[in-house]
Structure 1
């Protein structure tokens, strides 16, 4: 027998997360939860504990798609089902691994039966297994984009459509979708973020007593899981009963026009895109009212729903952190007249703070335990939101620092290259913030050839996913089977093998695996000259704007990025290669400038970084982006040329930042030695030029 899971009610803190999960358990219309948080914050533990709170489901005996006996799906592939009694089973928690294939997620043709019995049969996937339960995707930000699209479409429609390999199947797929992610490992695209109903940011408590209680309970659980779960069984049963009552009540909750106007006003004021935010907020407010035992949605329900439904939808830039200005939300809601108390008897099942009405007291979990219910008093949480409003998120339009006074207003176009300032940074020099312009689309760079790296959206690659381009005889264990090629290979030998009946007689030599071509993510290493020759204020603004545009391109194409800067007498790896592209934008924002230009040091540091990354991830091909005007005022040009030749085998792009009426062409000379493409800084984000280029190519 499997050991019990950690109890939901034993989780310390994380009140917003508990509330978001329970609102989804109460109403499937809320649309799921995305849990963002640093490592070690019990994200997976609390999701796995949720399944135990869900009511048992009645299913038709023998149905692989969990049809309800009283209302079976008329299009169920295992149907038609007659009316009758079914079997009760616990709600399932189905976990989708990061490395799952599309066949495993959606289902596919049952190859074994097709080849051995000659029949067309459907083998259901994880979406069918999760129907009427919970589908949990850990590290959803690392899941391949097309799998996320398929997953979220099924969650939004409540139906999974499979059209492949001669199979056309539709089956119900209604489940509570929960995804977890660590933002340090990369972000989801904004359009995918929008498909999650609610989002919660989880952070470890900085309160020593609360941290001690977490450790105390975890040690007690590890020492005896069954005994620990038994200590919390009473609260678990009470919370499960309250969830069931709220589920039964949610259909009777009324959303009055006044509350609907509040929702529309709040969503419009926060400038969220589309109308999904309004729908999710309305459904979450209804679920919250049912959870609190009310029959009419109130301003309090709208407030709690908006806090969870809007933060990830108000992002205006891929690198903006989710957040919501709590003070602004309060001002918007306070602009409406007070609503009458719609609770007919003034009661609130379970009390305002705890699902079972407990007002506190000792618990087996240990003294000082923190046991606020999932809908507990949020005054402390509101204070935190007020202290850190969403509009205090890092502003990535302010990227970096300028050089000191005396050259702040220098115009590099007013004099030749020799007249450009080369200030040294010193203790008495003050560096001023330097704004970057709004990021614009960057010219799409790719690595030539066909790679075998991690799935992404930049360069062509042989990947387990993508379109099928051919077949091959497998070496070792076969990969995804190419059905047509396998049958073609086996067909000429059927008579000689004595075939009788419908099934094919196959040998291992007949098997052919599919060759698929998709896109891979690359390692994009930015090497940026931050010296005095690049520090003329207008030029550095343009440089940072261009690099920010390239960072956004890397974010959209699922790349790893690194950032090397060189100035003074050294080169620094300010951002080791990472999938967290927004970290690169943050480092760029803090980038100081000034000093001499150690070009050779910057190139040699890039060589070393690429060497180490090649050992760590040999399949991921690099793309080097060097941003420079080609000058070297620390060291010699000969040293720079020798360093450039070491990068001759790497796919590279040199962004020429030289400006002024007289240009020496040093950056382009450097590009020739590297075997790199050279582009002008002004051309890098020339959207009109990109459109013309693509039109002419077509």
Structure 2
């Protein structure tokens, strides 16, 4: 028997995360929890501790503890959902199904660390199973269905890349976590961790009663859940909240309703109140406001307060209309208004926010795990090691007003002269809806899964059987290879006689993500306000395209006397937008230095990830002015890059009546696709650049 795991009740400073996990355990139909945050914030510790609190599972083998099933990032779809049992097929000649990880997680926890690095189609499979509670498999002549009700938990570090908004919406709840900045809380975290490492079993024993209390409350809440009432007043409040935040579709309304019901059951109530709806909205709505990859997720306290007030007005109006209708009916029946039930609808609303609400005896409100204020006691969670970190507020990653992220104005403001344009990058006029050029690296790669260039992958479309089995066994190809040799192998009935040379793999083709290196001319010749506005719009267009195609991006700034790597290669393109918002301009144009720096970045990244093929995007007017013989040096650097076979695009930022055409010359030297800036920011860009396999195409300015 292994050492005891870290107790759920001993975790300090992550009450909001604990509450979200508990509510998902009470009502698995919520759809799981996505935990976003920096490394070292106990995300994995809390998730693993939750599995110890779930009720035992009773199946055909008897009672067993609920499992924590960890899904590795490199898992295949067969391993996740299950597949044909090849051993039984080939040995016994009978069709059989081998369940996957989803079946193993039934009535337990399915944990996906770094879920943002998981293939998109696998994330879809997980979320479908979590929403439906069943897995349906139709493949290789097998039709199989089995229950799979589990608590889905995904963790991610946003700096390593974001999930698509469509996938974010599929997660029921999202919690942003960060290490507390309170000294007492940080001391408590370290002290408890050191005590656990010194004596795991003894430490777990100290919190056994508290964990047992939480486990019993989860079980009790599950039993109470079907009896919890959600009246029309609170349902109207939920609908008004979701409408106020302009979320897409109806999934948000359903998740908020389920979460509010689960919270009421967790608090021991038999009806949903305004307090339950608010807490559900805090957990279920922030990530659904993100429509653009560069939008910051989150809802500030002020925004939520305003939406709650508007929703309360909706409920009041509906209650008043209902009172009027009831009074009219009573007057018609008795000759005078019936005042006995007047205001019933409104009294119910007031009661829902009073008796068990913020001002009621249960405390109501902001408390993370128990719905109580952060400075109050928590049932089942010891609070004897100093003040808790009450969770993220409006100023943290969970909040943040509209001006806090890339949607707000950059530092320096309009007219500062030190930054590219007055607007933020994501708010650049004309950039939001313009498609990027259709552009890919020619040939067939073997890079990371993505959506840009053709590649041989483990998860793409099956093209043909192949002698290489590294990408999985191709059953039919193996059988067809073995069939002609059955007679010479002495088979006269019975199982198929196989040999090693019969094995065939599945040759699959899909799409890969690439490394896109932006070299941005930020010199004085580019500093005109209208030009910078267009340039930043072009960059956002290309970054949005890189986000959608799952590329890594790097940004190099060229200004003054040197080239600066503003952003090392990263999968988080929203970080690229924030870095570009702080880009400074002015000075000369050392283009040769920028191209050399790009070459260094590409070479260094090739050592780290040799399968990821690079692409270069150069935004410049071509006027090299830095150093000795600046233009010849720049053209020499361009030819060196071209000689290494790198795919490139030059965006000519030159404007005005007189154009020198220097960027077009650089495009020829780079053997690059050529595009004028006004084409990239105009309405007819979709077909300007197609696949690079057509060869270079340089237009005169």
TM, length-normalised to structure 1: 0.86
Aligned residue number for residue 565 of structure 1: 557
1:279–1:367 CA distance, 2 compared to 1 (3 A): closer
Question: Residues of 2 paired with 1:528 and 1:88: CA distance?
Answer: 62
More displaced 10-residue stretch of structure 1: 555-564 or 157-166? 157-166
More displaced 10-residue stretch of structure 1: 682-691 or 289-298? 682-691
Question: Residues of 1 paired with 2:674 and 2:371: CA distance?
Answer: 68
Is contact 2:406–2:577 with CA below 8 Å preserved after alignment?
no
SS in structure 2 at match of 1:551: helix
Is contact 1:396–1:586 with CA below 8 Å preserved after alignment?
no
SS in structure 2 at match of 1:690: coil
Aligned residue number for residue 511 of structure 1: 503
CA shift, 1:430, in A, is 9.4
Is contact 1:137–1:178 with CA below 8 Å preserved after alignment?
yes
Partner of residue 142 from structure 1, selected from 117, 132, 149: 117
Aligned residue number for residue 28 of structure 1: 28
Partner of residue 457 from structure 2, selected from 452, 463, 466: 463
Deviations 1:623-672, CA, capped at 9 Å, x for gaps? 10011111112132111111111110210000111112222211111111
Aligned residue number for residue 133 of structure 2: 158
More displaced 10-residue stretch of structure 1: 388-397 or 514-523? 388-397
Question: Residues of 2 paired with 1:253 and 1:430: CA distance?
Answer: 55
Deviations 1:259-297, CA, capped at 9 Å, x for gaps? 111111111111111111111111111111111111111
CA shift, 1:609, in A, is 1.1
Question: Residues of 2 paired with 1:350 and 1:659: CA distance?
Answer: 61
Aligned residue number for residue 672 of structure 1: 668
Report 1:290-329 matches (<5 A). 290-329=265-304
Unaligned runs of 5+ in 2: 317-348, 694-701
Partner of residue 288 from structure 1, selected from 234, 239, 263: 263
Aligned residue number for residue 50 of structure 2: 50
Matched, 1:524 2:524: no
SS in structure 2 at match of 1:4: coil
CA shift, 1:510, in A, is 1.1
CA shift, 1:118, in A, is 1.4
Question: Residues of 1 paired with 2:566 and 2:182: CA distance?
Answer: 32
CA shift, 1:168, in A, is 1.7
Aligned residue number for residue 351 of structure 2: 340
Aligned residue number for residue 385 of structure 2: 368
Matched, 1:646 2:606: no
Question: Residues of 2 paired with 1:601 and 1:35: CA distance?
Answer: 41
CA shift, 1:501, in A, is 3.3
Aligned residue number for residue 205 of structure 2: 230
Aligned residue number for residue 74 of structure 1: none
Q: How many residues align?
A: 639
Aligned residue number for residue 394 of structure 1: 405
Report 1:244-283 matches (<5 A). 244-283=219-258
Question: Residues of 2 paired with 1:446 and 1:402: CA distance?
Answer: 36
CA shift, 1:347, in A, is 7.0
Question: Residues of 2 paired with 1:258 and 1:683: CA distance?
Answer: 53
SS in structure 1 at match of 2:686: helix
Is contact 1:12–1:370 with CA below 8 Å preserved after alignment?
no
Deviations 1:368-399, CA, capped at 9 Å, x for gaps? 35579xxxxx6x75575799544343134756
Question: Residues of 1 paired with 2:594 and 2:40: CA distance?
Answer: 36
Report 1:352-431 matches (<5 A). 368-369=385-386, 388-396=399-407, 398=409
Question: Residues of 1 paired with 2:683 and 2:86: CA distance?
Answer: 48
1:383–1:164 CA distance, 2 compared to 1 (3 A): closer
Question: Residues of 2 paired with 1:669 and 1:546: CA distance?
Answer: 21
SS in structure 2 at match of 1:611: helix
More displaced 10-residue stretch of structure 1: 463-472 or 550-559? 463-472
Is contact 2:286–2:299 with CA below 8 Å preserved after alignment?
yes
1:521–1:91 CA distance, 2 compared to 1 (3 A): same
Is contact 1:161–1:169 with CA below 8 Å preserved after alignment?
yes
1:680–1:486 CA distance, 2 compared to 1 (3 A): same
Task: Give the CA RMSD over aligned residues.
Answer: 3.0
Question: Residues of 2 paired with 1:692 and 1:652: CA distance?
Answer: 15
TM, length-normalised to structure 2: 0.86
Deviations 1:50-88, CA, capped at 9 Å, x for gaps? 011111122134xxxxxxxxxxxxxxxxxxxxxxxxx22
SS in structure 2 at match of 1:391: coil
1:18–1:181 CA distance, 2 compared to 1 (3 A): same
SS in structure 2 at match of 1:525: strand
Question: Residues of 2 paired with 1:632 and 1:349: CA distance?
Answer: 67
CA shift, 1:128, in A, is 1.1
Unaligned runs of 5+ in 1: 62-86, 373-377, 409-428
1:600–1:389 CA distance, 2 compared to 1 (3 A): closer
Matched, 1:174 2:137: no
Matched, 1:663 2:659: yes
Report 1:470-481 matches (<5 A). 470-474=464-468, 478-481=470-473
Aligned residue number for residue 67 of structure 1: none
Question: Residues of 2 paired with 1:386 and 1:539: CA distance?
Answer: 33
CA shift, 1:432, in A, is 7.0
Is contact 1:599–1:640 with CA below 8 Å preserved after alignment?
yes
Report 1:510-589 matches (<5 A). 510-589=502-581
1:493–1:565 CA distance, 2 compared to 1 (3 A): same
Deviations 1:185-243, CA, capped at 9 Å, x for gaps? 00000000000011000000111121111111111111121111111101011111111
1:668–1:189 CA distance, 2 compared to 1 (3 A): same
CA shift, 1:542, in A, is 0.5
CA shift, 1:686, in A, is 4.2
CA shift, 1:134, in A, is 1.3
Question: Residues of 1 paired with 2:274 and 2:224: CA distance?
Answer: 19
Question: Residues of 1 paired with 2:401 and 2:638: CA distance?
Answer: 44
Question: Residues of 2 paired with 1:670 and 1:368: CA distance?
Answer: 64
Deviations 1:453-504, CA, capped at 9 Å, x for gaps? 1111110001111111122223xx7541111221121112111111143311
Question: Residues of 1 paired with 2:279 and 2:90: CA distance?
Answer: 55
CA shift, 1:565, in A, is 0.8
1:343–1:290 CA distance, 2 compared to 1 (3 A): farther
Deviations 1:511-570, CA, capped at 9 Å, x for gaps? 111111111110000001011111111111101101111111111111110000101111
Matched, 1:210 2:185: yes
More displaced 10-residue stretch of structure 1: 323-332 or 243-252? 323-332
SS in structure 2 at match of 1:340: helix
Aligned residue number for residue 329 of structure 2: none
CA shift, 1:404, in A, is 6.7
Aligned residue number for residue 39 of structure 1: 39
